[in-house]
Amino acid sequence: MKLASVTVNGTRRAGVVLEAEAAVALLPGSVGTVDDLVRGGPAALDAARNALSGARTVGLSEVRLEAPLHRFNRDILCTGWNYCDHFEESKGKREGQDPATRPTRPAFFTKGPDTVIGPVDDIAYDAELSGQWDYEAEIALVIGRDGRSIPEEKAREHIFGYLVANDVSQRDLQRAHGGQWLKGKSIDATMPLGPWLTTADEVADPGDLRVQCRVNDVLLQNASSSQMAFSFARIIAELSHGMTLRAGDLILTGTPSGIGSARDPQVFLRDGDLVVTRVSGLGELRNRVVSTSLT
């Protein structure tokens, strides 16, 4: 299923997207939110499926798509340098923060949950806060079952589903705080997420998804998840080693090459830019960069 959080007639509802019909089936309140479905296990998904037969259907154009997830257990968990070409393109451009060699294990960091916005919301932009707003198209996954020290061969059993994300980053802030990425990744209202949550059973091969980012209709990122240095399963196994992952945890899995800070000349987001982030089979985000006072 493709689970969406939508606002219709001023009320937020959970729904199931029917892409072929460009419509959404509105689930009854008794089913709960998308967050509830993630945490509720197989029984909650069965209840959602059973509710479809009598659900009211409305056109996607009649609702506003919101971020599918609104309740987070903790900071968003993120993976850095997970596409080899992205790691290579930024060599010598990290302002003295280059690792000596390509990482042999995933690099992890977190970002605050207040970054999350919906698939059509504006990306907050404050030129006084940062002069280097960069785009990063990514595949996000959601944990659906608690686990610690999860073996790589069992990791996919813990994935509830997948979404599209854009890890908009402020590169100057990212470099300004001792090489720690948290600050330059955690500015409020800057990370589009959605457009819906596609359950894992609908993704036949997560290792072959096309990841793209366009800015003002110019294609700047275009790669396959097959180019990842570390698979989704490896990310989960490494991250959960000694550390419990819980249902509802959101994990970003890295961005491919083409980021603005690695280009010559550099390309950074500005007020008015339209950012379109797309992953094959998972949908697309369409977000406008809009000046907002964040200080």
The per-residue pLDDT for 100 is 61
Matching residue, tokens 């990122």: 221
* Domain locations in the chain as residue ranges: 2-66, 76-291
pLDDT band at 124 (very low <50, low <70, confident <90, very high): very high
Please provide the distance, in angstroms rounded to a whole number, between the alpha carbons at the two ends of the chain.
Answer: 40
Residue 78 phi, psi dihedral angles, 5° rounding? -130, 155
Element housing 232 (H / E)? helix 232-239
Name the amino acid, one letter, at 114: D
Matching residue, tokens 């970002």: 111
- 76-291 placed in CATH 1.20.1090.10: no
| DSSP for 120-132, written as a single string | TSPEEE-TTT-S-
The per-residue pLDDT for 139 is 98
Q: What is the pTM of this model?
A: 0.95
Q: Tens of pLDDT along 147-206?
A: 999 999 999 999 999 999 999 999 999 888 887 889 999 999 999 999 999 999 999 999
- Whether the pLDDT of residue 92 is over 80: the answer is no
Tell me the mean pLDDT in the region 106-124: 97
Give the contacts of 7 (CB within 8 A, at least 6 positions apart): 13, 63, 64, 66
The token pair that represents 33 in the structure block = 């939110």
